[in-house]
Structure 1
Amino acid sequence: MYKALDKWFLSYLRRPRTPAPDGITDLILAVCDHFEPLHATDKRGALERLEVWKHAWPKLAGEFRDSNGVGLRHTFFYPIEQYDPDLLSELAVICKASGAEVEIHLHHEGDTADGLREKLLAGKERFRSHGFLGEDDGGAVRYGFIHGDWALDNSHPNGRHCGVRNELAVLRQTGCFADFTLPSMPSPTQTRIINRIYYARGTDRPKSHDNGEPVRVGGAGKSMHRPAPDELLLVQGPLGLNWRWRKWGFLPRFENGDLTAANPPTPERFRVWERLRIHVEGRPEWLFIKLHTHGGIPQNFNMLLGEPYRQFHRFLSGLCRNSGRYRLHYVTAREMVNLIHAAEAGCTGNPGQYRNFRYHPPPLATG
């Protein structure tokens, strides 16, 4: 169906309306980049693309500061099946200079649980050799994940782009701290759960994350061991209708948090993200805005590395400075998950103090 409306639109119409709380609203912003510099090019072309990022991104990231004095943050989800040590070494230079981090992206087809496990463990080891990926209190390497072609847990109706029905369990067993694939609209892999931060349990059926339990304050109990061994945390970005930017003057446009040259971040889009109010239940004053992009392709360079991105962050800075109603927090995917778990544990106040609440920074950031 058009834009996968049969998967999600009824949930959108039935969504609970969470009113804006009194007092300060904390805007927690993460940009998760499906970063594929080898897309439609060779290694030489990929190195040229990384060179553009190396010169432009650290400077841009340093031009803005959030409410805690932290510069722009970016998370590169790099495809482990496209591993090349030279490309990852260049990416490490970018991260070291800007505070960006790298997590795991994967495209696969007709795979098995054992094959997936082997790929993920090898990818973790390779990424760690470049100083990427954080760890937990026990020293175990942990990672964030985005599924290529949106087909998490074999969720494509035709069984394409995956093949592993128990994928959530394999991700959890290999150290995944959260999945950031969704929303996937207009793909038919889109879930009926939308605008939610939730736990899903793997089953022997495809698309087991079509069901789940919202993360809520106190939901982990005193044990602080959530997610359970058979659960995976899923962090969704915004999905809905944008009535402020209409097609042909009267039809609302679809909003799915994708940043592109044709659809850059704008104040109008921000108002939609704010209105959808993705949060941990019981902590509505902390808004989690998870956006995605494809920053490895030249079509998006000017948007992400140029004036459109600058204009948007000038708007955010001015909003927080002039309104007195907002605090802004630039975070990586790992830091966003830490703030989610801090909210779940009942932490209050300025969320910026909980950036390393559970999962520690990668060696590259601390070395």
Structure 2
Amino acid sequence: MERGASSFLKFFRFVEDSEPEKHLIFIISNHFEPGWLENGTCGIEQQLRRLEKWKKRAFSIGSSITDHDGTKFRHTYFFPAEQYERRLIEHLVELRLAGLGEVEIHLHHGVDKPDTVENLRRSLVNFRDTLAEEHKLLSRWEGIGQPMYAFVHGNLALANVTGGKFCGVDSEMRILHETGCYADMTLPSAPDRSQVPVINKIYECALPLEQRAPHREAIPLKVFGSRPTLPVIFQGPLILSWAYGNSPLPKIENGCLSSGFRNDLQRLKHWMDANIIVKGRPEWIFIKLFCHGFFDSDIDFCIGEEAKRFFSEILEYCDKSGHKVHFATAREAVNIALAAVDGFSGNPNDFRDYKLKSISS
């Protein structure tokens, strides 16, 4: 890795050089647990107060930070099925109606003992239908059929990749497929042991969905490729970086919006270098970030003043370089990726509602 003056010059060229136009599609996958405490769970009244504060921050950043399409800065709220409470979801419906994000499914299971196929299916279907029928959330393929959803696995153990801990269901990917999951957005999970060998990809599972961890092998999405078997595995950036501090060892850059990273244009460069694309459409770069909305030390970095500063800096850089920024929800990003598979190009904004239509539309 270059250091000193040569490293500085390399970074300076990144900021100043004229580059081919790129469309940077940002997705913020928020593992959204308003009841989270370091040593347990807080009561419902405290959760409601937390959500009121969160909404104020979301409205504030949404009113001041918009992308090149005029779309407001937004998160995708992956809400834990096992923590459902109507009043909490009603706050998220308000954010959805204001154009500040969408709600998808998060689930912690197999925590005390391995889960069962029957219980997993029941948990997913019940929460899916509650969100769709009671709150008019989620989406449908072409506006018809069963509700569809994006997914983030609690404790990162997607498809029993950790061998029983925090899951226990080898056929989880098949169950996700059958219950309407269009994309999993759990990864990357490094340095956790749930990380699979495939990195920096948007892909379908190459192994049978009934197998444990079929996402450990990949068939990347490509332009004019066949329609992928769902759920698509939609990864965020995962690279090694020497840009943080003076340690001789690299830091894992995994796209986490937290106080543990220095937010600057060098970080944006890492995300772009991960080059997460649909093969054959290199000008559309997908940058899926993630955060934990109620880690006290991280709130400012994912929704507060630090997030405003950083994403304003990104927008300013892109204005100067000719790149375009697009803030997308999980659903919108998958729609854009599917449009690329079908051969479409141009402005990704035109394909936010390509196949998956919001139930509330």
With the length of structure 1 as denominator, give the TM-score of the two structures: 0.87
- What is the CA–CA distance in structure 1 between the aligned matches of 2:95 and 2:155, rounded to whole Å? 26
* Cα contact 1:280–1:340 (8 A) shared by 2: yes
Tell me, in whole angstroms, the C-alpha distance in 1 between the residues paired with 2:180 and 2:339: 19
Q: Is the 8 A contact 1:117 1:174 kept in 2?
A: yes
**Structure 1 residue corresponding to 2:161, chosen from 151, 155, 159:** 155
Partner of 1:191: 196
- Cα deviation digits, residues 172-224 of structure 1 (max 9, x gap): 1000010000001111110000001000144444211101201001112xxxx
Q: In structure 2, what is the equivalent of residue 275 of structure 1? A: 273
Who is 2:29 aligned against?
32
The aligned runs of 1:1-367 (5 Å cut-off) are 23-40=20-37, 41-109=42-110, 110-128=114-132, 129-137=134-142, 138-157=144-163, 159-200=164-205, 201-220=207-226, 226-228=227-229, 231-248=230-247, 250-263=248-261, 265-324=263-322, 326-363=323-360, 366=361
Q: Is the 8 A contact 1:49 1:298 kept in 2?
A: no
Cα offset, 1:304, TM superposition? 2.3
CA-to-aligned-CA distance 1:13-61 (integer Å, 9 cap, x gap): xxxxxxx997311100000000001112221221111011111211211
The amino acid of 1:155's aligned partner reads V
Counterparts of 2:103 and 2:263, CA distance in 1: 22
List, as ranges, runs of 4+ consecutive aligned residues in structure 1 with deviation greater than 4 Å: none
What SS is found at the alignment partner of 2:358? Answer: coil
SS of match in other structure, 1:78: strand
Which is worse superposed, 271-280 or 291-300?
A: 291-300
1:125 is matched by which residue type in structure 2?
D
Counterpart code for 2:36? H
Which 10-residue stretch deviates more, 167-176 or 122-131? 122-131
Query: 2:176 corresponds to which letter in structure 1?
Result: L
Tell me, in whole angstroms, the C-alpha distance in 1 between the residues paired with 2:258 and 2:326. 22
Checking the alignment, whether the CA contact within 8 Å between 1:154 and 1:164 is kept in structure 2 is yes
Task: Write the letter of the residue equivalent to 1:154.
Answer: N
| Conserved? CA contact 1:108–1:161, under 8 Å | yes
Tell me the distance in 2 between the aligned counterparts of 1:261 and 1:187: 19
One-letter amino acid of the counterpart of residue 235, structure 2: Q
Aligned amino acid, residue 28 of structure 1: I
In 1, distance between residues paired with 2:300 and 2:209? 42
Contact 1:295 1:304 in 2 (8 A): yes
Change (3 A) 1:333 1:216: same
Question: Are 2:244 and 2:262, in contact at CA under 8 Å, matched by a contact in 1?
Answer: no
Where does structure 1 lack aligned partners over 5 or more consecutive residues?
1-19, 221-225
Per-residue displacement from partner, 1:330-351 (whole Å, max 9, x unpaired)? 1000000001001111101111
SS in 1 for 2:298: helix
Q: CA RMSD in A?
A: 1.7
Give, in whole Å, the separation in 1 of the partners of 2:53 and 2:234.
Answer: 30
TM-score by length of structure 2 reads: 0.89
How far residue 314 of structure 1 moved from its aligned partner, in angstroms, is 1.1
